[in-house]
């Protein structure tokens, strides 16, 4: 199984809402990532988890809160988002947190903030 799953596929939320994005992999990977991708732009790294510990935070605003409950799951908690946060949020995993390791990406969650 080389699949990374993400739920939900689409999410519409107001600026005062709290919601969560979920990501799951069962490949035994010990590194998991969140990326943000705006339309017609490349993916931008947000967070890296290595062995369930946050290892990189790319200066992401605190309204985005990542969580890694176990080695297979990665969540992204959203609170008080802005309309400019509307984007495709991609989760990925790799065997280890090494830049040359192949990253497996999920299909993404399309987020719209109203």
Partner 1 sequence: LAKTTQPISMDSYEGQEVNITCSHNNIATNDYITWYQQFPSQGPRFIIQGYKTKVTNEVASLFIPADRKSSTLSLPRVSLSDTAVYYCLVEGSGNTGKLIFGQGTTLQVKP
Which residues, 80 to 109, sit near partner 1 by CB under 8 A?
A: 88, 90-92, 94, 96-108
The secondary structure of residue 9, as a DSSP letter, is: S
Query: Can residue 70 be called a binding residue for partner 1 (CB under 8 A)?
Result: no
Binder of partner 1 out of 20, 44, 60, 63 (CB under 8 A) = 44
**Total residue length of the chain:** 114
Q: Contact, 16 vs 114, CB < 8 A? A: no
Give the count of residues interacting with partner 1 (CB under 8 A). Answer: 30
Q: Cα separation of 10 and 97, whole Å?
A: 28
Provide the 10 A C-beta neighbour count for residue 8: 13
Q: Given the rule CB under 8 A, which residues bind partner 1? A: 4, 31, 33, 42-45, 48, 50, 55-56, 88, 90-92, 94, 96-108, 110
């Amino acid at each position: 199984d080389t699949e990374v799953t993400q739920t939900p596929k689409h999410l519409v939320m107001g600026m005062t809402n709290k919601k969560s994005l979920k990501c799951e992999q069962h490949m035994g990977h010990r590194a998991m990532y969140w990326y943000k991708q705006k339309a017609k732009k490349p993916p931008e790294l947000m967070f890296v988890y290595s062995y369930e510990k946050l290892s990189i935070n790319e200066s992401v605003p605190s309204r985005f809160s990542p969580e890694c409950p176990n080695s297979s799951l990665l969540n992204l908690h959203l609170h008080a988002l802005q309309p400019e946060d509307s984007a495709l949020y991609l989760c990925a995993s790799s065997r280890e947190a090494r830049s040359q390791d192949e990253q497996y990406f999920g299909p993404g969650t399309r987020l719209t903030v109203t």
